[in-house]
Chains A and B, each alone.
Chain A
Amino acid sequence: MAGDQTPRPSGGPDDTPTGAGQGWTALSYLIGGMLVWGFVGWLVDQWLDTGGIATGIGVVLGMAGGIILVVRRLGTPT
């Protein structure tokens, strides 16, 4: 019954952002998480001379953080 849905009033205060906006938010959280913690890991690498291991751990951690953020911010059904 596509016809009889009530048209959503545009611009209500409880509007979720548009789909494209959410997509960019999701992608930027993932990339942002990777970059931030990857950078921290890289710094640790330079400090302890671990040859890339710490950067890898940082990237994985950051990615986990990014996923958590996406799930929390966008993935909770309203």
Chain B
Amino acid sequence: MFGQANVLAAGQAAFPPSVEDFYLPSILPWGAHDSYWFTKITAMVWIAVGVLIIFFLATYRKPQLVPTKKQWLAESIYGFVRNNIAVEMIGHAGVRFAPYFTTLFCFILLTNFFAIVPLFQISPNSHIAFPAFLAVISYVMFIWVGIRHHGFGKFVKNSLIPPAPWYILPLLIPIEFFSTFLVRPFSLAVRLFANMFAGHMLLLVFTLGGFAMLSANAWLAPVSVLSWVMTIALTFLEFLVICLQAYVFTVLTASYVQGALADEH
């Protein structure tokens, strides 16, 4: 992160930002270029995990009947996910998934939120690996839950064979397979990844564009102020996207679990 700041200060940042800007230099072998074992991204994920664990442990260590402020915050997050996502989507059976959904929601929200926190300013979710792994967890979970609830044969039958006459089933089963087992994890991962990637790229374009115009010539220099104002405005938009994507990811996971638990269509 200091490297970036230095580059900006020296006025030699490459203006059209590229994918290279997402690969931050390594931290543990300080400044090494080909080592990706411990980068700022890794550090941010660990920080997010640590912050969440400490926050929930600290707020719920001594639960009181009349909640303190921190306890109220933690309880309202959990209550929001449990009532507005888990129970709303799945029904009463959804309460037992609420802890996982809360963890998922908080983790995505926090890691997304790093995109607009000063000095962090990039979200780990703008690397496809993290959304992909979260999507894999959701994918395995809804299949596992479905198999546990229905048994393997009935789950496959439920999710692959639509209520239709037998002679059009060969037409329909591949479509069902495609949209249930192939598109779902892919769209989950790509939706989150693309939003965070595009958001970071957008902020980079306007920030670096300001510097590029400042150093271009005297006529364009005042416009760079406009560019930075846009950066600030887009940061607020980013905040909206961050909350929305965390919510959407959790809601979609819940709806897949609901689909796996549903009895007959």
Contacts and interface: CB of A to CB of B under 8 A. Distances in A.
Q: Do chains A and B touch in the complex (CB under 8 A)?
A: yes
Interface of A: 10-13, 15, 17, 21, 28-29, 32-33, 35-37, 40, 61-62, 64-66, 68-69, 72-73
Interface of B: 87-94, 162-164, 168, 171-172, 174-176, 178-179, 183, 187, 255, 258, 265
Nearest to A21: B255
A64 B170 CA distance: 13
B163 A29 contact: no
A13 B265 CA distance: 13
- In the A-B complex, list the 8 residue pairs whose CB atoms are closest, starting with the nearest: A32-B179, A11-B87, A65-B171, A33-B175, A13-B91, A36-B178, A32-B178, A36-B174
Given A62-B175, A69-B172, 9 more contacts: A11-B90, A11-B92, A17-B258, A21-B255, A32-B179, A35-B178, A68-B172, A69-B162, A69-B164
Contacts of A68: 164, 168, 171-172
Contact of B183 (A10, A12, A32): A32
B162 A17 contact: no
Given A11-B87, A13-B91, A37 B183 contact: no
